Amino acid sequence: MLQIRWHGRGGQGAVTAARIFARAAALYAGRYAQSFPSFGTERRGAPVTAFTRLDDRPIRDRSQIANPNYIVVLDATLLENTDVFAGLASGGIVLINSVRKVVDNGDDRNDRDPSRSGLHYLDATHLAREILGVPIVNTAMVGALAGLSGLLPVEAVARAIADVLPERLAARNSDVARQAFDLMAGHLSSV
């Protein structure tokens, strides 16, 4: 089973990203999938965590993901006060929305040491502003993770976006996901 943990802030679409990724896997890539959120204080801007599981068999575990294979961070400011690397599986992949590296790879935090993981960056905010006109990065990060991991074809992502988002938003969000997919596909990593 592959497990993904999404970190964002309320209003950024982390829960929707987890849902789109799971839907793409289940309906358009022939996998079993589930997604669900975990909220703290429910307000815009508060940290939000969402989870996605993928498997070739039915998934019965509904617990939060403690040891993800993939971690996706929609807002790099979360690194300042949240240990987003907590529990990262050995050989795990981390994807951070950032224009530059924001983690010191010399960190010596034992099993949470980002230098022992595949750490990748994408300026999804810039991409979203260019294509969507707003800094909502969830669909860009879904496309980026699909391209980086090789878990989903871009067409599955685009179809799931069309299923989940209103028609007036789906085409442009599919475009941003496709561009992010293409940018990250050159960095293909797998767990």
77: CATH: 3.40.920.10
| Domain boundaries, position 101 | 2-185
Does a structural domain hold residue 99? yes
pLDDT confidence of residue 109: 40
DSSP 8-state symbol, 89: P
pLDDT digits (tens, 9 = 90+) for 51-98: 999 999 999 998 999 999 999 999 999 999 889 999 999 999 999 999
pLDDT confidence of residue 102: 62
Instruction: Give the pTM.
Output: 0.89
Report how many domains make up the chain.
Answer: 1
Is the model's pLDDT at 128 over the cut of 90?
yes
For 71, the enclosing helix (H) or strand (E) is: strand 70-73
Handedness of CA 161, 165, 18, 61 (dihedral sign): negative
User: CB 47: neighbour CB atoms within 10 A?
Assistant: 19
The closest of 82, 131, 124, 78 to 99, measured between CA atoms, is 124
Q: Across residues 109-122, what is the average pLDDT? A: 62
pLDDT confidence of residue 46: 85
Reduced to 3 states (helix: H, G, I; strand: E, B; else coil), residue 42 is: coil
Does a structural domain hold residue 175? yes
Does a structural domain hold residue 191? no
pLDDT confidence of residue 43: 67
Does a structural domain hold residue 124? yes
pLDDT confidence of residue 11: 87
Q: Across residues 31-38, what is the average pLDDT? A: 94
The owner of tokens 């679409």 is 13
Distance of CA 94 to the CA centre of its chain: 9
Does a structural domain hold residue 190? no
- Tokens at residue 145, please? 């993770």
Reduced to 3 states (helix: H, G, I; strand: E, B; else coil), residue 72 is: strand
Is the model's pLDDT at 122 over the cut of 80?
yes
pLDDT digits (tens, 9 = 90+) for 143-175: 999 999 999 999 999 999 999 999 999 999 999
Is the model's pLDDT at 107 over the cut of 60?
no
